[in-house]
Amino acid sequence: MKPNIPDISQLKELSLPAPVSYAPQTWGWWLLLALLVVLALVVGARRYRQWRRDRYRREALVRLAQLRGRSDDLNALRELPELLKRVALSMPSPKPLRRDTITVGAGLPAMRPSPATSELTDRTPSLASQLPQGPAALGRSDWQAFLQQYSKRQLPANFSEQLAQLAYAPDATLRALPAEQRQALFDTCQQWMEHHHVAA
């Protein structure tokens, strides 16, 4: 009798198991995946909205850097208060402005018309609707209070006076400003533009 000697021809290829799916096997994992996708979309949408809303801030900082580059130029110094006003006007409004009293110029209030004249008011625009509103109408102390209200850091106590000096002082007064004071003004403006807070 011939012994049964194993031969390589008798070997058979082993069958491999079915590949394991990477898809979640239970509904709980599908729910978690859906929640993560929704969360990512919400966070992305909010970041994009914030990025678009801060466009005015980025543009103002670019312009401020240009002005800082020529801080010895009187026109650059005179544009600084205007730039801050434009930033304040471009800020998203946290709440609607009150229409009953609006500060005008040096603190004169524009009052809402009385109920007796409401019929006339319905047909013609009220004085309050024709007056400047918001930061554009603020005087020195109100302007200082507005800037401080939206600042995360303490501003110099006479910051609005310094801005008014830049806007209205004679050229000789601006030329006499020390370089340190000019740079301090630019630094304060940059700090306020970068860090002022607005309502979400």
Residue 54 domain flag:
no
Residue 8 domain flag:
no
Measured distance CA(28)–CA(133) in Å, rounded: 54
Percentage of residues in the chain having pLDDT higher than 90: 22
DSSP code string of 94-154: SSPPPSSEEEETTTEEEEPPPGGGHHHHHHS--HHHHS--GGGG--HHHHHHHHHHH-SSP
Residue 96 domain flag:
no
**β-strands 101-104, 108-111 pairing:** antiparallel
Q: What tens digit of pLDDT does each residue of 40-91 get?
A: 999 999 999 999 988 999 999 999 999 988 877 888 888 999 999 899 888 8
Residue 17 domain flag:
no
Specify the amino acid at residue 155.
L
Is the pTM value of this prediction over 0.85?
no
Residue 190 domain flag:
yes
Instruction: Count CA atoms within 13 Å of residue 142 on its CB side.
Output: 17
1: helix, strand or coil: coil
Residue 33 domain flag:
no
Structural domain including 154 reads 72-91+121-200
pLDDT (0 to 100) of residue 98: 45
What is the band of 137 on the pLDDT scale with cuts at 50, 70, 90? low
Greatest mean pLDDT range, 6-15, 94-103, 117-126, 128-137: 6-15
Residue 46 domain flag:
no
Residue 192 domain flag:
yes
